[in-house]
Amino acid sequence: MTVVTVGVHIVDVLARPVESIPAGQDTHLLEQIRITAAGAAAGTAVALAKIGVPVASMGAVGDDELGDFLLMIMARRGVDVSGVVRRAGEQTAASILPIRPDGGRPSFHVPGANLGLATADLDADRLTGAQVVHLGGMDVTWGLHDPAFFALLDKAREGGTAVTLDLLSNMPDLMPGVRAFLPHVDYLLPNEEQALMLSGASTPEEAATALLAEGPKGVIVTLGAAGSLVATAAGLTRVPALDVPVVDTTGCGDAYCAGFAAGLLRGRDVLGAARLGTAVAARVAGGLGSDAGLDGFVADDPGPDA
């Protein structure tokens, strides 16, 4: 398997456009409601599959109907879900997202089975045999804050696997545990708020430089409409966002990570991988949900300005 994603699996229920929550028992009619496979591991895996990259995902879901749906939709999209474990008596993680007319996305969330994912749940041989391992949501998968998991990542990297790391939350209390991962990954892909919280810096440039010093070969800070900032030993480079109409920003970070991983697989350098990530994220921003807009997009196709 060329890519393995490890971490957070979530069912998203999205509705748009939502200007306000109805009072009392009132009903508002909407244009669209969707249910998608999402989360920093599952959403990235689905995006990878939809752009033509063979991918397997590892994580934990409940033994409930939401878990049934999540595994079904991921498999239907082409993701190998044999590495996703079922937790008896636990709920599958889920979010309800009322999408504002401007694409903003407040949420209601249940973390569910993600919190209990542990090293023992993972297929070590499959992980160390991948070309790219993407760690999605390590800030909330506390069972993987584990020296045994770090050793597994080191073994994979020694064998030539590239390891990328993305986060799920913007909660300051969860950031300290993430820093222990930095010596064990090649590329860190936080958003701006996460990068500032992780580093204690006041600008994205300062944050990327500080985080780069903690071990990764590259730090790629996503900046929303401002694009992304790529930091490597060669310096700092801005990659602009593409000018596209925005419907919903849900999953854009996961899509960026998918494009970045696909770029690494295709032999692109870090900037080239970041440009492909930008193109994939732009496609997702044009529709509702974390997998919108990717039908017909192929990772070998550079896309606009990619």
Per-residue pLDDT of 196-250, as tens digits, reads 999 999 999 999 999 999 999 999 999 988 899 999 999 999 998 887 666 555 5
Give pLDDT, residue 291: 58
The pLDDT assigned to 303 comes to 42
Give the integer Cα–Cα distance in Å for 89 and 112: 10
pLDDT score recorded for residue 195: 96
pLDDT of residue 300: 55
pLDDT at 306: 45
HSE of 225 in the Cβ direction (CA atoms, 13 Å)?
10
pTM: 0.90
Burial class (CB in 10 A: 0-12, 13-18, 19+), 150: middle
Please report, for the chain, the start and end positions of each structural domain, with discontinuous segments joined by +.
6-18+32-285
Q: CA 172 to CA 169: how far, in whole Å?
A: 9
Residues composing the chain: 306
- The CATH number of domain 6-18+32-285 is 3.40.1190.20: yes
Q: Which residues of the chain, if any, have pLDDT below 70?
A: 1, 244-251, 286-306
Q: Which of 265, 183, 180 is closest to 217 using CA atoms? A: 183
Per-residue CA distances from 258 to 62, 69, 135, 219, 255 (Å): 25, 22, 11, 16, 5
**Spatial separation of the C-alpha atoms in residues 39 and 107, rounded to whole Å:** 13
Q: Which residues contact 281 (CB under 8 A, 6 or more apart)?
A: 222, 241, 252, 253, 255, 256, 259
Residue 171: per-residue pLDDT: 86
pLDDT of residue 252: 80
